[in-house]
Amino acid sequence: MDINFELYKIFYHAAQSGSFSEAAKTLYITQSAVSQAIKNLEKKLDVQLFFRKNRKVKLTWEGELLFKHIEQAYNFIKSAENKFFEMKNLDTGEIRIGVSDTICKYYLIPYLEQFNTRHPHIKIQVINRTSSQILELLKKGLVDFGITTLPVKDKNIQVKEFITVDDIFVACDKFISLKNRKVPLHELNKYPLLMLEKDSRTRQNIDYFLEQHGVSVAPEIELESIDLLVEFAKIGLGIACVLKQSAITEIKNNRLRRTI
């Protein structure tokens, strides 16, 4: 049975108020339109829904039965509308973010703190993955947005630059001779380099830059973690290529020095 929901809406307000005129005022339509809608609904259902007496109306037994179900459905719909309103105004809801550990730790956390302070009822879910894994989660709809290292070559993904970061070489005083010295790119392999693994987008970008200048490097140590590269550099295992923000505290405290 295909019945226009508008008829049920008019029935609901007429039954709730016990008056066709009151329902007309609430719905901003004429009383005759309400009366005609009720007649149409009764015809389609093949039942009498109201006892009509003067200006007042009263539900029949069939009308009471229908009203119980329509009232429940109407309340569900209004509840859903209210939820959408709350979500639109950031009063409720959930946000899912795909981001690497490094970017999250050194750049995203202050923004998360501000957002949580302003919208405490929004649930924040952070999923730590590599750039390529984040893109896969995004395409599957498992995250709302991802923060990855550029470039992103998938044309189906909308890209907006979030922030520009600097990669630098740092070392402890064991390599003090390199302080403030410009080392030609082709001499990099003379030193024990500590770098991210080849699968990382950051490492791929660095390798591509070096290849453009005819240089290929063979790191002494390759790791998945920027923070571990910083720690290894501090104990003198080599010269680490790291995110500038990850080493800034150690540089200020003279435990590491920017080199090359």
Residue predicted with more confidence, 77 or 60: 60
Enumerate the H helices of 89-200 as residue ranges.
Answer: 101-103, 109-118, 131-139
Domain-located, residue 195: yes
What is the number of residues in the chain?
260
Domain-located, residue 215: yes
User: 179 and 238: one domain?
Assistant: yes
Domain-located, residue 67: yes
Predicted confidence at residue 78, as pLDDT, reads 83
In this predicted structure, the answer to whether residue 8 has a pLDDT above a threshold of 80 is yes
Strand partners, 59: 50
The verdict on pTM exceeding 0.85 is: no
Predicted confidence at residue 1, as pLDDT, reads 63
CA 143/CA 127 separation, integer angstroms:
8
pLDDT 10s digits, 141-173: 999 999 999 889 888 899 998 888 999 999 999
User: 172 and 255: one domain?
Assistant: yes
Query: 3-class DSSP state for residue 181?
Result: coil
User: 108 and 127: one domain?
Assistant: yes
User: 103 and 132: one domain?
Assistant: yes
What is the number of structural domains in the chain? Answer: 3
**Residue ending a domain, choose from 65, 88, 111:** 88
Residue span of the structural domain in which 189 resides? 167-259
Please classify residue 31 by burial: count the beta carbons closer than 10 Å to its beta carbon, then call 0-12 exposed, 13-18 middle and 19+ buried: middle
pLDDT 10s digits, 79-129: 888 777 767 777 778 899 999 989 999 999 999 999 999 889 889 999 999
CB atoms within 10 A of CB 160: 5
Domain-located, residue 133: yes
Q: List the CATH number of the domain containing 130.
A: 3.40.190.10
Closest of 3, 73, 37 to residue 81, by C-alpha: 73
Domain-located, residue 153: no
User: 227 and 172: one domain?
Assistant: yes
Domain-located, residue 121: yes
Domain-located, residue 217: yes
Q: What is the DSSP track for 209-250?
A: HHHHTT-----SEEES-HHHHHHHHHTTS-EEEEEHHHHHHH
User: 25 and 71: one domain?
Assistant: yes
User: 98 and 81: one domain?
Assistant: no
Domain-located, residue 161: no
CB atoms within 10 A of CB 260: 20
Contact (CB, 8 A) for 242 and 167: yes
User: 107 and 133: one domain?
Assistant: yes
Q: What is the DSSP track for 49-116?
A: -EEEETTEEEE-HHHHHHHHHHHHHHHHHHHHHHHHHHHHTTSSEEEEEEE-HHHIIIIIHHHHHHHH
